[in-house]
Amino acid sequence: MPDSMGKRQRRDVKARKAAAIEERRLARRQRAADRAAGVIPPGPGLGEPPEPLIGPGDDEQESDEG
């Protein structure tokens, strides 16, 4: 039986995941710095929720069809 039992593969996967996490972290920091400098506009934030797609009269029409 081999000595590794998949250890090398697990180690490689963990290394790839760690590299991807670090890459995303650096990208977030760069975007935050760009927003602070005014290079890119700020995101939409957590303002008011979007308006519903169904209007007030749409509910009545659906119930009449049934």
Q: Does some domain include residue 35?
A: yes
For residue range 11-47, what is the model confidence (pLDDT) as tens digits? 999 999 999 999 999 999 999 999 999 888 877 777 7
Provide the pLDDT for residue 10: 92
Local confidence band at 66 (pLDDT 50, 70, 90 cut-offs): very low
> What pTM did the predictor assign?
0.54
Domain membership of residue 13 as a residue range: 1-39
Q: Does some domain include residue 24?
A: yes
Q: How many domains does the chain have?
A: 1
Provide the pLDDT for residue 61: 54
Q: Does some domain include residue 45?
A: no
Q: Does some domain include residue 14?
A: yes
In Å, how far from its chain's centre is CA 45? 14
Yes or no: say if 40 and 31 are a contact pair by the CB < 8 Å rule: yes
H or E element at residue 36:
helix 7-37
Q: Does some domain include residue 34?
A: yes
